[in-house]
Structure 1
């Protein structure tokens, strides 16, 4: 309860510089995809910096899972917004996104890299980082968000549902059913010390954001059809990709391939090369859009194309989050809504557990030696309490050594 009160007192009292510094560190070290990013965020901002409680953090994660767009980047933007207002949200998005975007734009202008055994070993080592990070986050969130049998049962049911459906839609359904189960099982109970996650966003700002989201979604295709390409074409391609996809970066790839490769704007070889490089850089996979914008066989291309693609693929998800937040803060005040949130939070734990197996564990641990490296990394986080960036270096080095021998 004391932690919740402290987090509530400190909410909104940070600075944009503080937020930028924290997220720049995360943007340079957060390997492993969106699920791993949520683990990094929790370690750095919930446990180490105590910006908010586990309950508030899981509530934000659950909300972002409902919305289309890059969930981890939406969570990061929300954390910055909650900590330091609009400038904090912009600082969080910029610092978390730019490192990987710059790496990928540089890759677009470089000769082939990350090829051969050593490069592949590095990428594989970074996958093992994700195993340890997600397992560590799962352990901590399970302790906080599933403290009793009903919520543990909700988490297990969500795990089973997501494992069976293996789709982003299954994740949304799991959270919805978790919320319903919370209302049915937990009733109208509300913790007296539970701090609501508040955001400095007015209802007017929310309505404007939702209106702008809809206007761009409808208007950009119309402008694209009436134009000869250029800025409007790029904006339309990447805005639609960001607005119509659930489940994060890997899910957006088919949309991007259809709208770029199949339209003759990017070669198939260039598309696959960029996707491979995106696996080796930290930060959100949506920054793959910056690479595509840089290698487009149309104008604008290069840095200008990269900037347009990067902004417009993230814009719809951020607009939706800003639009929903002021209304969410009001809804969650009702006792029955609080029980629904507890159930949804428990479902998030189950979703994280399912993701720990597939794709994180299944894609990373391919041999007993891989398991030994991942287990060692997990122990370094949980028992030795080393910072994540040290574990990143350890796993990356281990991957290179294993590939060399």
Structure 2
């Protein structure tokens, strides 16, 4: 190894803060960051860039570009990276835990109290939450279609993905994303933007390669281990890890992936799944904490607190492994036209995957009457036209559905 290679493999500037400082900053964000990943990035900018000056504007924009390029929950990845930049590995863990635990605890409590809703009043409330899911997923499809399928080739990829998911089920979701990336190599090569980061996280290339190797070993090795050992705990970890590893284009894309993993095997009922997803729109923090609700609400053991912890850790882990693994190579990877083209195709495909999920199971399970249709459409317009905060839409639709259900 020559001097230049040794310098590239050596950790860089030491962190400037402490894990305690990072935890306090992100706990504030975890308690107040409503509105989804795009809104979270705005909260982060105000608190960490403008006020605390942990990173400059250019560096923050570069970091967002990287996290949007990778699978996983983009806002949580940005928060994890900011904690890593500020206070090293302990800072990264502090950032994730403080930003994630408030909403995860709320959803865990809701899951454990779900039996209290087994009455006419509770059923009306749960139906309202399912209508919230219709409005929120429709908004996500609308927004993602405008930004990720702006031309005919990418619109065609999204349409093909809808057909694949419709006729091939869970396998069609993975196939659609993979084939979307392949189609992007041929159809989406224009408009490449180069990103040249203005920051360093002190991660060596060998450490990055180790994280990428662990990511791949878990993704492809866990199914083999599960089939050999027949452990429900490992099966649960594998299901949520795989879902977290395949989320391209936004947190809402995790909905069809999780539905395939936990509803189809009968671990969680479809009604409970959609009700929990509706509640997840009313809490601050990342949408991926929906996994804590699902883990707690499982029928087979482990469930409750153990199921919530396993599911929560498993769904976030792949995104963080990919982020740490990619950071030392991002300056070079981001300039490759083929990498950018493949991501454009994959992102277009996830629009189709989410569009298929909007119909089944979201629409077919929630919109049962003309009143349901009117309420769901009202929620969609509140979100898209009047830009109402999601928690307000949750309250209004849940209350309205309850009134009509009890009438």
Please give the TM-score of this superposition, normalised by the length of structure 2.
0.65
Task: For 2:133 and 2:80, locate their aligned partners in 1 and report how far apart those are by CA, in whole Å.
Answer: 26
Q: Which of residues 347, 371, 374 is equivalent to 2:373?
A: 371
Aligned residues of 1:24 and 1:96 also touching (Cα < 8 A): no
Q: What is the rounded CA distance, in whole Å, between the counterparts of 1:119 and 1:195 in structure 2?
A: 52
Match of 1:117 among 108, 117, 120: 120
**1:174, distance to aligned residue in structure 2 (A):** 1.1
Q: 2:296 aligns with which of 291, 300, 306?
A: 291
Q: Which residue of 1 aligns with 2:392?
A: 390
Name the stretch that deviates more: 81-90 or 139-148. Answer: 81-90
- Higher mean C-alpha displacement, 336-345 vs 97-106: 97-106
| Aligned: 1:77 with 2:76 | yes
Q: Where does 1:19-30 land on structure 2 (aligned, <5 Å)? A: 19-25=26-32
- Aligned pair in 2 of structure 1 residues 351, 196: CA closer, same or farther (>3 Å)? farther
Task: Please list, as runs of the form range in 1=range in 2, the aligned pairs for 1:320-359 lying within 5 A after superposition.
Answer: 320-322=321-323, 324-326=325-327, 329=330, 330-359=332-361
Aligned to 1:160: 163
In the TM superposition, residue 105 of structure 1 has moved relative to its aligned partner by: 5.3
Secondary structure, aligned partner of 2:117: coil
Question: Offset at 1:371?
Answer: 1.0
Q: CA deviation at 1:202?
A: 4.7
Aligned to 1:41: 37
Stretches of structure 2 that go unaligned for 5 or more consecutive residues are 1-16, 47-56, 247-255, 281-286
- Label 1:325 to 1:248 Cα distance change in 2 as closer, same or farther (>3 A): farther
1:128/1:365 contact within 8 Å kept: yes
Q: In structure 2, do the counterparts of structure 1 residues 48 and 83 end up closer, same or farther at CA, with 3 Å as the change threshold?
A: closer
Q: Distance in 2 between matches of 1:274 and 1:385?
A: 27
| CA-CA distance at 1:357 after TM superposition | 1.4
CA distance in 2, matches of 1:162, 1:43: 29
Contact kept? 1:380, 1:386, Cα under 8 Å: yes
The structural deviation recorded for 1:337 is: 1.7
RMSD: 4.6
Task: After TM superposition, list the pairs within 5 Å mapping 1:4-403 onto structure 2.
Answer: 17-25=24-32, 40-42=36-38, 44-45=40-41, 63-64=70-71, 74-85=73-84, 87=91, 91-92=95-96, 94-101=98-105, 103-104=107-108, 108=112, 112-167=115-170, 169-187=171-189, 190-191=192-193, 200=201, 202-209=204-211, 214=217, 236=234, 238-243=236-241, 248-253=257-262, 278=276, 281-282=279-280, 284-288=289-293, 291=296, 305=306, 309=310, 313-314=314-315, 317=318, 320-322=321-323, 324-326=325-327, 329=330, 330-403=332-405
Change (3 A) 1:311 1:348: closer
Aligned residues: 344
Instruction: Report how far residue 382 of structure 1 moved.
Output: 1.6
Quick check: 2:184–2:345 contact (8 Å CA) kept in 1?
Answer: yes
Q: Which moved more, 1:92-101 or 1:129-138?
A: 92-101
Residues 53-109 of structure 1, C-alpha deviations (whole Å, 9 max, x = no match): 8x967x857843xxxxxx6xx44532322444354565345543553445535764x
Give the distance between the partners of 1:173 and 1:210, measured in 2 at CA.
22
Would you say the 8 A contact 1:294–1:302 is kept in 2? no
Distance 1:366 1:195 in 2: 51
Q: Which residue of 2 aligns with 1:8?
A: none
How has the CA–CA distance of structure 1 residues 202 and 152 changed in structure 2, closer, same or farther, with 3 Å as cutoff?
Answer: farther
Distance in 1 (CA, whole Å) between partners of 2:387 and 2:110 is 34
What TM-score, normalized to structure 1?
0.65
| Structure-1 separation of matches of 2:299 and 2:198 | 38
What secondary structure, in the 3-state scheme, does the structure 2 residue paired with 1:113 have? helix
Quote how far apart the aligned CAs of 1:373 are: 0.7
* Whole-Å separation in 1 of the counterparts to 2:270 and 2:145: 38
**Residues 240, 314 of structure 2: 8 Å contact kept:** yes
What are structure 1's unaligned runs of at least 5 residues?
1-12, 31-39, 65-70, 226-232, 259-270
CA contact (8 A) 1:15 1:84 kept: yes
